[in-house]
A and B are shown apart, each in its own frame.
Chain A
Amino acid sequence: MIDPSNTGPDAARATPLLEVRGLSVVFDTPDGCHRVVDNVDLQVSAGRTLGLVGESGSGKSVTCLAVLRLLAVRGRVTSGEVLFQGRDLLKVSEEEMEALRGCQIGMVFQDPMVSLNPVRTIGWQIAESLHLHQNLSKSGAAKRTLELLDLVGIPEPKTRFGEYPHQFSGGMSQRAMIAMAIACQPKLLIADEPTTALDVTIQAQILELLSDLKKELDMALILITHDLGVIAEAADDVAVMYAGRVVEEAPVLDLFDSPLHHYTMGLLNSLPRIDRSVDRLSAIEGAAPPPQDFVEGCRFEPRCGHCDDACSGVRPDFSQISDTRRVACMHPVAAT
């Protein structure tokens, strides 16, 4: 399931393709502004998959939308840097950003059925990416589109080319979305819950496709999900987000073997596992706070069974456990 050769410390130490530093995003609402992403650091290198895991509302999607500068009007970045190949994306012009989107950085969204334009053919929508970023003739773009459809495993590309999204199943739509996102062979692919809207059997196929493409095109992949199963299957490194903050970062094997944050621990304990026999799955008490209830101190404190006075009031700093592991907790789980 997990390829151990891929998780060595050397790979992670390479210069990251994308480095997010201290990113904060606030949403302006009628009852004040909420900081939904709070000082987030992330990094991902070519050929690696970063799994970004967290509950709904933990800020994982917003972080990635902010990277591509695709936030809705009421969301804005208040601080931080998004370094892509050394360039701060938050500082480049909108025109430069347009040239990057879909070309150097591709994005796949959660619900493929509504993320495709209903009045345009699949072929048109994929060819549009090529048309926007590559100097291809019309027939050249059509030929390349057919290759892409074939690459993402859509049978009978010639027929499918002229069909509309409503004629596609969910899985096929997501394949088409992926074809669109990788059309220009991006260096970075961000997949925002790419399998959430799909059947379980289709989920596995899509994850496999993403992994294959990542290897084939030597991309960096950011995989956003709330599903630890998906993380275990596809990620090399994991960043766990809770209430707008990253609370733990680790290579995937280490994370599953010995989680350091009590939240990660809770998540893993709530998961049915073959290698541990449990009669009853444990759940984390309480619910993740909405942005208006975010506190300054450790945000997991209200639900944590291992906290003391030190936990509230001050944001816990990251402790660097090893080259590749860090955790933001005053009393991390003792490593076993």
Chain B
Amino acid sequence: MLTSDDIRNRTITEDGQRMLEKAEHDQVRTVWDRYQAQLPQCGFCELGLSCRNCAMGPCRIDPFGEGPQVGVCGADADIIVARNLGRMIAAGAASHSDHGRDLVEVLRQVAEGKAPGYQIREEGKLRALAAEFGISGDGRGKEAVALDLAEALEEEFGTRKKELTLVRRAPEQRRALWTKLGIMPRGIDRETSEMMHRTHMGVDNNWQSLLLHGLRNALSDGWGGSLIATEVSDILFGVPRPVHSKVNLGVLKTDQVNILLHGHNPIVSEMIAQAATDDDLVALAKAKGAAGINLAGICCTGNELLMRRGIPMAGNHLTTELALVTGAVEMMFVDYQCIMPALGQVAACYHTRMISTSDKAGFPRMEHHEFHPDNARELARKLVTEAIENYPRRVPGKVKIPVEPVDMMAGFSVEAIVAALGGTVQPLIDAIVAGKIRGAVGVVGCNNPKIRQDYGHVNLTRKLIAHDILVVDTGCAAVANARAGFKVAEAAALAGPGLREVCGALGIPPVLHMGSCVDNVRITMLAAALANALKMDISDLPLAAAAPEWYSEKAISIGCYAVASGIYTVLGPMPPVLGSKNVTQLLTEGLEKVVGATFAVEPDPDLAADLIIAHINRKRAGLGLS
């Protein structure tokens, strides 16, 4: 039996607390219960000291020094920790990059006229990106340019290049450094594939070169796979522009057909969004007794829809099960990444129908309907119809919408920020030089049941903006900060005097929503644009990143490409590296001399903010700024 203290210890969110009470009443088990059941977790694994890479093992190293100090093959703690971290990076980079590839495939099918319902919405961005790949647009239609661009982007995944094309956006000094260190990313799939090779038994047993390749693998994500995902999503679905919306479980409606869209890739959800506005389907919803069709996003698919269409946001990672506990969801669509396999079980306690949509992501207790560009529009219509037909099956006594939604703004793509600044980044540079904005920090990443939900994100962000540090955010962190009310213009009152003045002049919140977790590249592109405008390296600037509640391998890849790009990064939860003093020391200190940035680990958001403020002060002093 959960006490009210137990519930408050799980989440700081009011909607979450109310839904945990209901989950207890409805006897629904959630991620927090499953986490408790796993305790204590394996210390070998938490230290990174267990290895399952071959069948001479599995092996583990005794952290107390008395038992075995090497695996069967002879790998010591340094090698095992570095190999394990390398494979985490590879998995994270592969996830973002495969997501990017899916978008390139849609772009190709649009160009070939085989994707009804999809279109090129941003011809300007298409032509600009094509020009970066040396594709001429002169006198050619957008489909022809798109076909060439899709071909060129597919090449980025291969092995026929010395370096990825889009690294040219990085400052010259940074590119020279990557080349000097031998970590210039060559092909997106190549670096992941090479990491799997290096970490096979008997290949790379030098922990330093393993970690350097880890940085290259992460760069192939940050300046390759993720970047392609974001750029092509913008071309197909629109470049985000500032938009008002609402957030938390209050966005679900008692009198409407509620459809939730969960996952990461906008390919399916954009088609659902089109179908849900279809007049015939709205009329059908009314005929079934509903006031309309209400779409809401959750997790990063939600962020994609929020950024481009202002579709309201139901919650982040740890809210996904609780959203179903409202009993008010007719249908949830999932694509891939961060979809807990427990969701089908939770949905089975209510009338909710769960639809898995990706050919590469299956889940227990879900109905599988594969979406492809050629069938997406028709399938979306069919399933939205079925969601409407499910509305009469809702059990009113089991429905509880816990709170009223909170207002928010989103849609701050780099393009939108530059436009708000009047067409160049110079006003932002001026504000930083004048000290009105002391620096900028990307607060990003997931939720993790090891940290009270949103506690890390919200408290870190609150302290940073109070110290005149602009916060840009993505992913689950962005949802947390919106839910806390930081994303309305009035939230400028929470900022320090300088940031408050800048936000007031521009009519923007002190925390800017930059998108989903693949959209972390929007943050690095903004950092690169600032550095290029100043003819400096990214590591010279008063910038930092934080992942206060990270859990996923993707977050490890993001953290590594941020650090390798010169951005100091503070993690909340501990990555599995403590088993090797050498690896830990390199990540937290040694990398400063290598790439001009390091990791830090600090789970207390108050102390994490102090680390970041001190870092920004040092960088400002380095630039001769007060």
Is the A/B pair a real complex?
no
Q: Which residues of B line the A interface, CB within 8 A?
A: none
